Protein backbone atom coordinates (compact mmCIF):
# COMPACT_ATOMS: atom_id res chain seq x y z
CA UNK A 1 0.00 0.00 0.00
CA UNK A 2 2.77 2.42 1.03
CA UNK A 3 4.98 1.60 -1.92
CA UNK A 4 2.00 2.17 -4.27
CA UNK A 5 1.61 5.65 -2.79
CA UNK A 6 5.31 6.30 -3.27
CA UNK A 7 5.46 4.81 -6.76
CA UNK A 8 2.95 7.39 -7.89
CA UNK A 9 5.40 10.11 -6.85
CA UNK A 10 7.27 11.54 -9.86
CA UNK A 11 11.04 11.04 -9.88
CA UNK A 12 12.96 14.29 -10.22
CA UNK A 13 16.10 14.10 -12.33
CA UNK A 14 18.96 14.25 -9.81
CA UNK A 15 21.47 15.47 -12.36
CA UNK A 16 19.45 18.50 -13.45
CA UNK A 17 18.06 19.61 -10.07
CA UNK A 18 19.26 23.12 -9.29
CA UNK A 19 20.69 24.34 -5.99
CA UNK A 20 17.89 25.58 -3.79
CA UNK A 21 17.30 29.30 -3.45
CA UNK A 22 14.46 28.83 -0.97
CA UNK A 23 14.51 26.28 1.86
CA UNK A 24 11.16 25.50 3.43
CA UNK A 25 11.62 24.21 6.99
CA UNK A 26 8.84 21.94 8.23
CA UNK A 27 8.96 20.84 11.89
CA UNK A 28 7.18 17.53 12.38
CA UNK A 29 6.03 15.26 15.13
CA UNK A 30 3.79 12.36 14.09
CA UNK A 31 2.90 13.79 10.69
CA UNK A 32 3.67 10.72 8.54
CA UNK A 33 0.44 10.90 6.59
CA UNK A 34 0.97 14.55 5.76
CA UNK A 35 4.48 14.29 4.31
CA UNK A 36 3.49 13.45 0.72
CA UNK A 37 0.71 16.01 0.76
CA UNK A 38 3.07 18.76 1.94
CA UNK A 39 5.64 17.92 -0.75
CA UNK A 40 2.99 17.70 -3.48
CA UNK A 41 1.52 21.05 -2.47
CA UNK A 42 4.95 22.69 -2.41
CA UNK A 43 5.70 21.18 -5.81
CA UNK A 44 2.54 22.71 -7.25
CA UNK A 45 2.81 26.14 -5.66
CA UNK A 46 6.55 26.66 -6.09
CA UNK A 47 6.79 25.55 -9.73
CA UNK A 48 9.54 27.40 -11.54
CA UNK A 49 11.42 28.21 -8.33
CA UNK A 50 14.54 26.48 -7.02
CA UNK A 51 13.32 25.19 -3.66
CA UNK A 52 13.93 22.42 -1.17
CA UNK A 53 12.02 21.24 1.86
CA UNK A 54 13.71 20.21 5.11
CA UNK A 55 11.58 18.18 7.49
CA UNK A 56 12.91 18.35 11.04
CA UNK A 57 11.43 15.41 12.88
CA UNK A 58 11.82 14.66 16.58
CA UNK A 59 11.99 10.90 16.15
CA UNK A 60 8.21 10.56 15.76
CA UNK A 61 6.95 7.11 16.81
CA UNK A 62 4.73 6.99 13.71
CA UNK A 63 7.78 6.83 11.43
CA UNK A 64 7.52 10.32 9.92
CA UNK A 65 11.29 10.49 9.35
CA UNK A 66 11.28 7.20 7.48
CA UNK A 67 8.48 8.43 5.24
CA UNK A 68 10.41 11.64 4.53
CA UNK A 69 13.49 9.65 3.56
CA UNK A 70 11.42 7.42 1.28
CA UNK A 71 10.12 10.50 -0.51
CA UNK A 72 13.65 11.98 -0.53
CA UNK A 73 14.89 8.90 -2.39
CA UNK A 74 12.65 9.96 -5.24
CA UNK A 75 13.07 13.70 -4.94
CA UNK A 76 16.39 15.34 -4.02
CA UNK A 77 14.54 18.53 -3.07
CA UNK A 78 13.35 16.72 0.06
CA UNK A 79 15.61 16.42 3.11
CA UNK A 80 15.21 15.00 6.59
CA UNK A 81 16.76 15.88 9.91
CA UNK A 82 15.88 13.35 12.57
CA UNK A 83 16.60 14.48 16.13
CA UNK A 84 16.90 11.81 18.79
CA UNK A 85 15.98 12.39 22.45
CA UNK A 86 14.86 15.98 21.96
CA UNK A 87 11.56 17.75 21.51
CA UNK A 88 10.59 21.27 20.56
CA UNK A 89 9.12 23.03 17.58
CA UNK A 90 11.27 26.17 17.91
CA UNK A 91 14.59 24.41 18.28
CA UNK A 92 13.64 22.12 15.38
CA UNK A 93 13.05 25.15 13.14
CA UNK A 94 16.37 26.70 14.16
CA UNK A 95 18.27 23.51 13.34
CA UNK A 96 16.48 23.21 10.02
CA UNK A 97 17.37 26.77 9.10
CA UNK A 98 21.00 26.27 10.13
CA UNK A 99 21.25 23.13 8.02
CA UNK A 100 20.30 25.01 4.87
CA UNK A 101 22.56 26.99 2.56
CA UNK A 102 19.80 28.88 0.74
CA UNK A 103 19.70 32.67 0.82
CA UNK A 104 15.95 32.55 1.60
CA UNK A 105 14.17 30.49 4.24
CA UNK A 106 10.57 29.76 5.13
CA UNK A 107 8.95 27.98 8.07
CA UNK A 108 5.67 26.12 7.64
CA UNK A 109 3.72 23.54 9.66
CA UNK A 110 3.63 19.94 8.47
CA UNK A 111 -0.15 19.51 8.62
CA UNK A 112 -1.17 21.72 5.65
CA UNK A 113 -2.79 24.37 7.87
CA UNK A 114 -0.58 27.06 6.38
CA UNK A 115 -1.36 28.25 2.88
CA UNK A 116 1.62 27.18 0.77
CA UNK A 117 0.12 29.09 -2.21
CA UNK A 118 1.36 32.23 -0.49
CA UNK A 119 5.01 31.13 -0.57
CA UNK A 120 5.83 32.41 -4.11
CA UNK A 121 4.52 35.87 -3.12
CA UNK A 122 6.54 35.83 0.12
CA UNK A 123 9.60 34.73 -1.82
CA UNK A 124 9.07 37.49 -4.40
CA UNK A 125 8.78 40.16 -1.69
CA UNK A 126 12.05 38.99 -0.14
CA UNK A 127 13.83 38.94 -3.48
CA UNK A 128 12.53 42.42 -4.27
CA UNK A 129 14.01 43.48 -0.91
CA UNK A 130 10.64 44.72 0.36
CA UNK A 131 11.41 43.35 3.83
CA UNK A 132 13.72 40.98 5.72
CA UNK A 133 10.94 38.90 7.27
CA UNK A 134 7.54 38.22 5.68
CA UNK A 135 4.92 36.96 8.11
CA UNK A 136 1.81 35.04 7.11
CA UNK A 137 -0.81 36.72 9.32
CA UNK A 138 -4.21 35.44 10.42
CA UNK A 139 -5.12 38.77 11.96
CA UNK A 140 -4.43 41.28 9.22
CA UNK A 141 -7.10 42.30 6.68
CA UNK A 142 -7.91 39.31 4.49
CA UNK A 143 -6.55 36.73 6.95
CA UNK A 144 -8.52 34.42 9.23
CA UNK A 145 -8.39 31.74 11.88
CA UNK A 146 -10.59 29.26 10.01
CA UNK A 147 -12.46 26.68 12.08
CA UNK A 148 -11.19 27.63 15.52
CA UNK A 149 -13.71 27.50 18.35
CA UNK A 150 -14.30 30.55 20.56
CA UNK A 151 -12.07 29.39 23.41
CA UNK A 152 -9.04 28.73 21.18
CA UNK A 153 -9.56 32.11 19.45
CA UNK A 154 -9.68 33.79 22.87
CA UNK A 155 -6.50 32.02 24.01
CA UNK A 156 -4.69 33.08 20.85
CA UNK A 157 -5.76 36.71 21.24
CA UNK A 158 -4.68 36.67 24.89
CA UNK A 159 -1.28 35.16 24.02
CA UNK A 160 -0.84 37.76 21.25
CA UNK A 161 -1.51 40.54 23.77
CA UNK A 162 1.04 39.03 26.19
CA UNK A 163 3.65 39.03 23.43
CA UNK A 164 3.67 42.84 23.52
CA UNK A 165 5.77 42.51 26.65
CA UNK A 166 8.74 41.27 24.63
CA UNK A 167 8.39 42.78 21.15
CA UNK A 168 8.11 46.40 20.24
CA UNK A 169 6.99 45.91 16.64
CA UNK A 170 3.30 46.30 15.79
CA UNK A 171 2.93 42.86 14.21
CA UNK A 172 -0.71 41.74 14.12
CA UNK A 173 0.24 38.04 14.37
CA UNK A 174 3.57 37.55 16.17
CA UNK A 175 2.37 34.05 17.15
CA UNK A 176 2.28 32.93 13.51
CA UNK A 177 4.17 29.76 12.65
CA UNK A 178 4.20 30.64 8.94
CA UNK A 179 6.85 33.06 7.70
CA UNK A 180 9.73 33.57 5.30
CA UNK A 181 12.97 35.45 5.81
CA UNK A 182 16.34 36.32 4.36
CA UNK A 183 19.16 34.20 5.74
CA UNK A 184 20.84 37.34 7.16
CA UNK A 185 17.72 38.08 9.26
CA UNK A 186 18.08 34.65 10.84
CA UNK A 187 21.83 35.07 11.33
CA UNK A 188 21.58 38.35 13.25
CA UNK A 189 19.09 36.83 15.68
CA UNK A 190 20.19 33.23 16.00
CA UNK A 191 22.58 33.60 18.95
CA UNK A 192 19.97 35.45 20.99
CA UNK A 193 17.20 32.91 20.45
CA UNK A 194 15.68 31.18 23.45
CA UNK A 195 14.72 28.16 21.35
CA UNK A 196 12.05 27.08 23.84
CA UNK A 197 8.42 26.38 23.12
CA UNK A 198 6.26 26.74 20.02
CA UNK A 199 6.66 30.36 19.03
CA UNK A 200 9.74 30.64 16.87
CA UNK A 201 8.68 33.83 15.04
CA UNK A 202 8.13 35.70 18.30
CA UNK A 203 11.52 34.46 19.52
CA UNK A 204 13.16 35.64 16.27
CA UNK A 205 11.56 39.08 16.24
CA UNK A 206 12.30 39.62 19.94
CA UNK A 207 15.95 38.68 19.34
CA UNK A 208 16.36 40.88 16.23
CA UNK A 209 17.75 44.39 16.08
CA UNK A 210 15.10 47.03 15.36
CA UNK A 211 16.57 47.56 11.89
CA UNK A 212 15.09 44.24 10.71
CA UNK A 213 12.15 45.05 8.42
CA UNK A 214 9.02 42.94 8.90
CA UNK A 215 6.01 42.83 6.58
CA UNK A 216 2.77 40.89 6.95
CA UNK A 217 0.69 39.16 4.30
CA UNK A 218 -2.77 37.77 5.09
CA UNK A 219 -3.71 34.09 4.93
CA UNK A 220 -6.57 31.94 6.15
CA UNK A 221 -5.60 29.23 8.68
CA UNK A 222 -6.91 25.87 7.45
CA UNK A 223 -7.93 22.66 9.18
CA UNK A 224 -5.38 19.89 9.62
CA UNK A 225 -4.97 17.55 6.65
CA UNK A 226 -4.33 14.36 8.69
CA UNK A 227 -3.06 13.41 12.13
CA UNK A 228 -3.58 15.00 15.50
CA UNK A 229 -2.77 18.33 17.11
CA UNK A 230 0.27 18.53 19.38
CA UNK A 231 -0.97 21.70 20.97
CA UNK A 232 -1.66 20.82 24.59
CA UNK A 233 -1.87 22.49 27.96
CA UNK A 234 1.92 22.46 28.15
CA UNK A 235 2.17 24.70 25.10
CA UNK A 236 1.00 27.61 27.25
CA UNK A 237 3.67 26.77 29.82
CA UNK A 238 6.28 26.71 27.02
CA UNK A 239 5.04 30.09 25.89
CA UNK A 240 5.35 31.59 29.38
CA UNK A 241 8.90 30.16 29.60
CA UNK A 242 9.75 31.88 26.33
CA UNK A 243 8.37 35.23 27.51
CA UNK A 244 10.21 34.87 30.83
CA UNK A 245 13.46 34.00 29.05
CA UNK A 246 13.12 37.04 26.82
CA UNK A 247 12.33 39.30 29.80
CA UNK A 248 14.91 38.20 32.38
CA UNK A 249 16.77 35.20 30.94
CA UNK A 250 20.03 37.18 30.92
CA UNK A 251 19.87 37.56 34.70
CA UNK A 252 18.64 34.15 35.83
CA UNK A 253 18.05 30.98 33.75
CA UNK A 254 14.30 30.37 33.29
CA UNK A 255 14.81 26.66 33.71
CA UNK A 256 16.04 27.35 37.23
CA UNK A 257 13.00 29.57 37.90
CA UNK A 258 10.73 26.76 36.69
CA UNK A 259 12.63 24.28 38.86
CA UNK A 260 12.23 26.55 41.90
CA UNK A 261 8.48 26.97 41.19
CA UNK A 262 8.10 23.21 41.04
CA UNK A 263 10.02 23.04 44.35
CA UNK A 264 7.43 25.43 45.81
CA UNK A 265 4.65 23.13 44.66
CA UNK A 266 6.59 20.27 46.30
CA UNK A 267 6.41 22.04 49.66
CA UNK A 268 2.61 22.25 49.32
CA UNK A 269 2.42 18.56 48.38
CA UNK A 270 4.62 17.70 51.35
CA UNK A 271 2.35 19.53 53.79
CA UNK A 272 -0.81 18.07 52.25
CA UNK A 273 0.51 14.49 52.70
CA UNK A 274 1.94 15.20 56.15
CA UNK A 275 -1.33 16.72 57.38
CA UNK A 276 -3.32 13.78 56.04
CA UNK A 277 -1.07 11.10 57.59
CA UNK A 278 -0.12 12.78 60.84
CA UNK A 279 -3.22 14.79 61.73
CA UNK A 280 -6.07 12.98 60.02
CA UNK A 281 -4.77 9.38 60.24
CA UNK A 282 -2.73 9.77 63.46
CA UNK A 283 0.36 7.97 62.10
CA UNK A 284 3.70 8.60 63.89
CA UNK A 285 5.32 11.92 62.89
CA UNK A 286 8.59 10.40 61.58
CA UNK A 287 6.76 7.99 59.28
CA UNK A 288 4.37 10.72 58.09
CA UNK A 289 7.26 13.08 57.44
CA UNK A 290 9.25 10.43 55.56
CA UNK A 291 6.31 9.44 53.36
CA UNK A 292 5.51 13.11 52.68
CA UNK A 293 9.13 13.75 51.64
CA UNK A 294 9.16 10.80 49.22
CA UNK A 295 5.77 11.74 47.71
CA UNK A 296 6.89 15.38 47.33
CA UNK A 297 10.13 14.33 45.62
CA UNK A 298 8.28 11.98 43.28
CA UNK A 299 5.73 14.65 42.36
CA UNK A 300 8.55 17.16 41.84
CA UNK A 301 10.24 14.68 39.52
CA UNK A 302 7.06 14.20 37.49
CA UNK A 303 6.45 17.96 37.24
CA UNK A 304 10.04 18.74 36.30
CA UNK A 305 10.04 15.96 33.72
CA UNK A 306 6.84 17.32 32.18
CA UNK A 307 7.50 21.05 32.43
CA UNK A 308 11.05 22.14 33.32
CA UNK A 309 12.80 19.54 31.17
CA UNK A 310 9.99 19.00 28.68
CA UNK A 311 12.40 19.09 25.75
CA UNK A 312 14.43 16.19 27.22
CA UNK A 313 11.54 14.30 28.79
CA UNK A 314 12.46 10.84 30.09
CA UNK A 315 10.29 7.87 29.22
CA UNK A 316 10.08 4.16 30.03
CA UNK A 317 13.14 2.67 31.71
CA UNK A 318 14.95 6.02 31.65
CA UNK A 319 12.04 7.50 33.59
CA UNK A 320 12.59 4.96 36.38
CA UNK A 321 16.37 5.56 36.43
CA UNK A 322 15.69 9.31 36.38
CA UNK A 323 13.35 9.07 39.36
CA UNK A 324 15.96 7.16 41.38
CA UNK A 325 18.77 9.60 40.54
CA UNK A 326 16.44 12.55 41.26
CA UNK A 327 15.48 11.22 44.70
CA UNK A 328 19.13 10.45 45.59
CA UNK A 329 20.34 13.86 44.43
CA UNK A 330 17.56 15.73 46.23
CA UNK A 331 18.23 13.77 49.42
CA UNK A 332 21.81 15.05 49.39
CA UNK A 333 20.37 18.51 48.65
CA UNK A 334 18.18 18.19 51.74
CA UNK A 335 21.23 17.37 53.90
CA UNK A 336 23.08 20.37 52.48
CA UNK A 337 20.02 22.52 53.14
CA UNK A 338 19.75 21.47 56.78
CA UNK A 339 23.54 21.64 57.30
CA UNK A 340 23.88 25.18 55.96
CA UNK A 341 20.77 26.41 57.81
CA UNK A 342 21.92 24.86 61.10
CA UNK A 343 25.43 26.30 60.76
CA UNK A 344 24.12 29.81 60.08
CA UNK A 345 21.57 29.54 62.89
CA UNK A 346 24.36 28.61 65.31
CA UNK A 347 26.24 31.70 64.10
CA UNK A 348 23.27 33.70 65.41
CA UNK A 349 21.70 34.50 62.06
CA UNK A 350 17.92 35.03 62.20
CA UNK A 351 16.14 31.67 61.97
CA UNK A 352 14.13 32.71 58.88
CA UNK A 353 17.23 33.88 57.02
CA UNK A 354 19.15 30.75 58.02
CA UNK A 355 16.33 28.60 56.66
CA UNK A 356 16.18 30.64 53.44
CA UNK A 357 19.93 30.30 52.89
CA UNK A 358 19.61 26.53 53.38
CA UNK A 359 16.75 26.40 50.88
CA UNK A 360 18.73 28.36 48.25
CA UNK A 361 21.81 26.15 48.65
CA UNK A 362 19.66 22.99 48.45
CA UNK A 363 17.74 24.25 45.39
CA UNK A 364 20.88 25.26 43.48
CA UNK A 365 22.50 21.90 44.25
CA UNK A 366 19.37 19.99 43.22
CA UNK A 367 19.03 21.98 40.01
CA UNK A 368 22.67 21.79 38.97
CA UNK A 369 23.00 18.09 39.71
CA UNK A 370 19.68 16.88 38.29
CA UNK A 371 20.07 19.05 35.18
CA UNK A 372 23.44 17.38 34.61
CA UNK A 373 22.82 13.81 35.74
CA UNK A 374 19.08 13.12 35.70
CA UNK A 375 18.15 14.88 32.47
CA UNK A 376 21.34 15.20 30.46
CA UNK A 377 23.46 12.16 31.16
CA UNK A 378 20.66 9.61 30.99
CA UNK A 379 20.27 9.72 27.24
N1 LIG B 1 10.09 18.75 15.36
C2 LIG B 1 9.00 19.00 16.11
N3 LIG B 1 7.85 19.40 15.52
C4 LIG B 1 6.78 19.62 16.30
C5 LIG B 1 6.79 19.45 17.70
N6 LIG B 1 5.55 19.76 18.19
C7 LIG B 1 4.80 20.07 17.12
N8 LIG B 1 5.52 19.98 15.98
C9 LIG B 1 5.11 20.28 14.60
O10 LIG B 1 4.83 21.66 14.54
C11 LIG B 1 3.73 21.90 13.71
C12 LIG B 1 2.64 22.62 14.48
O13 LIG B 1 2.10 21.76 15.48
P14 LIG B 1 0.53 21.52 15.60
O15 LIG B 1 0.26 20.39 16.51
O16 LIG B 1 -0.05 21.44 14.24
O17 LIG B 1 0.11 22.87 16.34
P18 LIG B 1 -1.00 23.90 15.88
O19 LIG B 1 -1.04 24.02 14.39
O20 LIG B 1 -0.76 25.14 16.66
O21 LIG B 1 -2.29 23.19 16.42
P22 LIG B 1 -3.52 22.56 15.56
O23 LIG B 1 -4.25 23.72 14.95
O24 LIG B 1 -4.33 21.90 16.60
O25 LIG B 1 -2.92 21.64 14.54
C26 LIG B 1 3.31 20.56 13.16
O27 LIG B 1 3.94 20.34 11.92
C28 LIG B 1 3.82 19.59 14.20
O29 LIG B 1 4.06 18.31 13.68
C30 LIG B 1 8.02 19.04 18.31
O31 LIG B 1 8.14 18.88 19.52
N32 LIG B 1 9.07 18.84 17.47
MG1 LIG C 1 -1.34 22.44 13.21
Which is the closest atom of ligand 1 to the Cα of 29? Answer: 29
Ligand 1 neighbours by CB, cut-off 6 Å = 27-29, 31, 56-58, 87-89, 92, 109-111, 113, 224, 229-231
Q: Is the dihedral of CA 60, 66, 71, 73 positive or negative?
A: positive
Which residues have C-beta within 8 Å of that of residue 322, sequence separation ≥ 6? 301, 305, 314, 374, 375, 378
Residue ranges for the chain with pLDDT beneath 70: 1-5, 12-17, 377-379
Q: What's the gap in Å between 224 CA and the centre of ligand 1?
A: 10
Q: What angle do CA 7, 11, 17 make, to 5 degrees?
A: 160
pLDDT digits (tens, 9 = 90+) for 273-307: 999 999 999 999 989 988 998 999 999 999 999 99
> Residue of the nearest CA to atom 17 in ligand 1?
231
Contact (Cβ atoms closer than 8 angstroms) between residue 94 and residue 162? no
Is residue 223 classed as helix, strand or coil in its secondary structure?
A: coil
Ordered alpha helix ranges (H), 191-349: 200-206, 233-248, 254-274, 285-303, 316-346
How would you label 304-343 residue by residue, b for 16+ Cβ within 10 Å and e otherwise? bbebbbbbbbbeeebeeebbebbbebbeebbebbeebbee
Q: What's the gap in Å between 189 CA and the centre of ligand 2?
A: 25
Q: What's the gap in Å between 359 CA and the centre of ligand 2?
A: 42
The DSSP call for residue 105 is E
- Which of these, 50, 38, 59, lies nearest to 108 by C-alpha position? 38
Q: Is the dihedral of CA 194, 200, 206, 210 positive or negative?
A: positive
> Residue of the nearest CA to atom 18 in ligand 1?
231
Q: What angle do CA 210, 216, 221 make, to 5 degrees?
A: 135
Helix (H) or strand (E) holding 65: helix 64-74
Confidence at residue 378, expressed as pLDDT on a 0 to 100 scale: 45
Confidence at residue 343, expressed as pLDDT on a 0 to 100 scale: 93
Which residues have C-beta within 8 Å of that of residue 309, sequence separation ≥ 6? 255, 371, 375
How would you label 206-236 residue by residue, b for 16+ Cβ within 10 Å and e otherwise? bbbeeebebebbbbebeeebebeebeeeebe
Alpha carbon separation from 231 to 8, 88, 156, 226, 330 (Å, rounded)? 32, 12, 12, 15, 32
Contact (Cβ atoms closer than 8 angstroms) between residue 364 and residue 330? no
> Residue of the nearest CA to atom 24 in ligand 1?
229
Long-range CB contacts (within 8 A, 24+) of 156-161: 159/236, 159/239
Which residues have C-beta within 8 Å of that of residue 69, sequence separation ≥ 6? 80
Is residue 22 classed as helix, strand or coil in its secondary structure?
A: strand
Which residues have C-beta within 8 Å of that of residue 248, sequence separation ≥ 6? 254
pTM for this one?
A: 0.84
Which is the closest atom of ligand 1 to the Cα of 26? Answer: 27
Contact (Cβ atoms closer than 8 angstroms) between residue 110 and residue 68? no
Confidence at residue 28, expressed as pLDDT on a 0 to 100 scale: 97
List strand residue ranges (DSSP E) for 51-98, in order: 51-57, 78-82
pLDDT digits (tens, 9 = 90+) for 119-168: 999 999 999 999 999 999 998 888 888 878 888 888 888 888 888 888 87
Amino acid sequence: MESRVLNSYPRVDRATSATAELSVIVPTFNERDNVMEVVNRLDRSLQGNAWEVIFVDDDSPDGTAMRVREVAQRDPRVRCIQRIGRRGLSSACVEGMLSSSSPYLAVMDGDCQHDEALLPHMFELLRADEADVIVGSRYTNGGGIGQWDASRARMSRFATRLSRAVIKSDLSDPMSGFFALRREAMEVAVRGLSGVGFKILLDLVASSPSTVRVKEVPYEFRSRHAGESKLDSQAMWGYLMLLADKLFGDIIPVRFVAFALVGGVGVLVHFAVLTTLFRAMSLPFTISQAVAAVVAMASNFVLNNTLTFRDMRLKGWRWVKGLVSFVLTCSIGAFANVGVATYLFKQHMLWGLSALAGIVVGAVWNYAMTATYTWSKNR
